[in-house]
Structure formats: structure tokens, C-alpha cells
Amino acid sequence: MKRNLKLHQWLMKWHFISGIIILPFVLMLSVTGFIYLFKNTYESPQISDFRYVDVKNERLTFQEQWEIAGRNSDAKPHSIIISGKTDEATEFISGKFANVSHLFVNPYNGAITGKFFENDSPMGQIRKMHGSLFLGVWGGRIIEFVGSWLFVMLLTGIYIWWPVRKWSVFGFFIPRIKQGRRTFFRDIHAITGFWISILLLMILAGGLPWTEVFGNNFKRLQKVTNTGYPATWDGQGLKSLPTENSLSLDEMILIAKEHPLPGTVSLAFPKGKEGIYSLSNTYYKDLNAQKIIHFDQYSGKLLLQHSWSDVGVLMRGRMWFMAFHQGQLGTWNFLIIACTAFLLFIMSLSAIISYLLRKRKGKLEIPIVPSNFFPGKIIFLVIAILGLILPLFGLNILLIVLVSRLSMSKSLLKTI
């Protein structure tokens, strides 16, 4: 197969430009992502100090513990973690997403054994750096911009690297060590980038749903195509039938235990007189085993339950890739993500070193492309599709085209 040399040069130019723009950010993302993988390892000792208690003869009721938690929590607890272990403090959850906090109550004496605020922990700070550069919404947009260009850089890199004539051990599997430092680091960049490209695309697919623009558009697509959570997944539209007295938390937990679920099991409290109890579990090792079950707060009657098979295909795919992104699907997943993050760092650093070894002082060394080159309708169609899927990338392309047009107009005016 004969390579289109001009197209190769054109793609190389944009691969180079995207690298200059985003590689410093990619280095940061690889380091912070690698560190955040060890979140549970780092936080487990601290949480263990809060969680484990000495076993006594008599326990306080869950209702009493709930009241204690309400008096000692900054925000009203919305759920309780159900555990069958006698040597564990009772865990109450407040807040959502990044603002989740955990409060632990000793079930034997009512003492608060500890509070854990995810957002304020060291790993919470790493997550902020990884997801928003500590800059809030605008930082999140910068990360989305980087992710969009990384997607493009991977696709162009695969085309540029792909051998036209034949495969060779050196240069395609093993870096060449006898052709100078620049070639050595260039090979490390290219070989590493190619062999982890599929994994990186999967990781990007798991990270983009967290972003503002792409993430919100993806949610709209789920809603339009009815491929997200069922409307009643969170109990929307369900109501308890009020009677004189509601069940105590202890009575409700006994009912909940009649529906054993794997993983971390939580019971969400009713909101108001017509609110419902909702039992659910988080189990990344087998997402298909996840369920949510809704109960009347007065009678304990099962009102509705959903299994993972009731969730739409886009949401199931989204949640799988997001869990994969965080290495939560098991040891195999953790090791793959850790290795990929490490190799991404090596790939990015070697690209910078190779560029600095090639760069002449005062020059950017951007690959030259003939001014009259037209990449073809298929390439523009691909760019248009990527621009629709990744809106920040599309907006950036429009800005680049506008600047290029203005530059060409100025050049023409000078010649008149």
C-alpha cells in the first residue's frame, strides 16, 4: 500500500500541534490519575479507625443512631450503609457526588467515632486537580478540551505510525538504540502510544461523561433515546400511603435484609410524609448484580424494584466505561489502568524529549505542509463528525479555520 505523503505530512502537522498544546496537561493527568487509583489503599487505614469498634453486650437501636447522626452531621444524612458485622460502627451518608461525607456512630455507646469528608481529603484534592485543575467549571472545560484533542492525537498517531511496507521488530516493538537519542525517544513515544492506544481510547470514553459539554449532551441523548435509567429508578412518582405511624428504621432494616444484595448496600431514607425507602447496592465486580428496591415507609410493602437489565444500553455502557476508567472492575482492571497511566506518562515525556532534541533555538519546528494541499472530503467528514461528538474540539477547529482565513486575507492585502 502506497502512503499519501502529503496527507501524512498534514496529519503529522496536526499531531504535532495538538501535542504541543496538550502534552503538559497529559503529563499531569497521567500522574494524578495514577495516584488516585490508590484512593482506597490510602484512605482505608483512616476509615478503619472510624469503622471498627469494641463489641459490647447491648446495642442502640438504628433509630436512636439515626437521631444521633442527625444531631452531629453538618448536613442531614440521606442514607445508611447496611452491614451485618457486629464490630463495625454504623455509617451514615450525607451529600452527593464530590460533596459526600461519611459519619460513623458507635452502635454500643452512641459516640461519633469519626467523620470523613471526601472533598477535603488529600485524594479529594488529587481528584480536583485531575478533573478541574482547581478551577471549577472552567478548569473542567480545559480538561474536556485536552481530552478531545488527545482523542484526535491518538487517531492521527495511529495513522502516522502504521507501517506501509512491512513490520519490523525494531521501531515497531523495540526502540532503536543505535540511531541516536532523538530516534530512541521518538520510538519510545510512538511504540508506547500505539500499543496502548485502544486502552487510552477506552479510558477517554470513561472520562468524557464527567465533563460538562460532552457529558450533558450525552445525558440528553440518553433521554431522547430512552437509553438511560428508567424514570422510576430513583423512585420518581412512587409514594407511600400515610397511616398513623411509619416503620422504625430498625423494622425497615429487617425488611431490607430479606432482600440480600452483594457489595456495598445502602438504604435511602424517605423524604417527607409520602416519601419512600430505597434499598440499593454498588457492586463493580458484577454490574449486572446491582438492584434498587423501593418500599412504603409505613407498611414496608415492596412498591417497585429494578435490576440492571432495566437500565438503558447507553447508561450501562457509560457506567461500565466510567468504572473501567477508575479501575473499579477488579484487580485486572486496576492493573491495566495503573500500567496505562504509567505508560502514558512515559509516552508523553519521551515525546517532549524527542522534540527538544530536534528543535533548533528560536524555532517551533512545526512540520511543513504544501499550502495548496487539500486533505479530501473523507477527512473533513471525519473532522465534522468528531466536532459534533466532541463540541469543544469542533469549536476549536472553527477558531483555527477563522484565524487561518484572517491570516490569508492579511497576506493577500500586503501583496496588493
Higher pLDDT, 383 or 254: 254
Residue 120 belongs to a domain: no
Mean per-residue pLDDT, 176-197: 90
More confident residue, 383 or 171: 383
Q: Looking at the predicted structure, is the pLDDT value of residue 246 above 60?
A: yes
Structural domain harbouring 388? 377-416
The confidence score (pLDDT) of residue 158 equals 87
Give the number of domains in the chain: 2
Mean pLDDT value of segment 380-394: 86
**Consecutive H or E run containing 65:** helix 62-72
Give the residue from 311, 328, 348 where a domain finishes: 311
Report the percent of the chain where pLDDT is more than 90.
Answer: 66
pLDDT at 415 exceeding the cut of 50: no
- The string of DSSP codes covering 219-273 is HHHHHHHT-SS-TTTT-TT------S-PPPHHHHHHHHTTS--SSEEEEEPP-ST
What's the mean pLDDT when you consider all of the chain?
90
What digits encode the pLDDT tens for the residues 68-102?
999 998 889 999 999 989 999 999 999 987 789 99
| pLDDT tens string 98-156 | 789 999 999 999 999 999 998 889 999 999 999 999 999 999 999 999 999 898 889 88
Query: Within the chain, how many helices (H) and strands (E) appear?
Result: 14, 8
Q: How far apart are CA 287 and CA 363, in angstroms?
A: 52
Please indicate, yes or no, if residue 273 is contained in any of the structural domains: yes
Question: Helix 5-36 and helix 136-161: axis angle, to 10°?
Answer: 130
DSSP 8-state assignment for residue 88: B
Does 245 map to a domain?
yes
Residue type for position 209: P
Is 267 contained in some domain? yes
- Domain membership of residue 31 (yes or no) is no
pLDDT of residue 165: 62
Pairing of strands 79-81, 112-117: unpaired
Domain stop point among 295, 311, 327: 311
pLDDT at 3: 65
- Are 188 and 346 a contacting pair, CB within 8 Å? yes
Q: What is the CATH number of the domain that holds 268?
A: 3.10.450
Residue type, 389: I
Residues 63, 65, 68, 72: is their CA dihedral positive or negative? negative
Q: CB under 8 Å, gap of 24 or more: what pairs does 333-337 form? A: 334/37, 336/199, 337/33, 337/37, 337/203
Residue 371 predicted with pLDDT over 90: no
Least confident among 11-15, 130-134, 265-269, 288-292: 11-15
Residue 363 counted as domain residue: no
Beta carbons within 10 angstroms of residue 207's beta carbon: 23
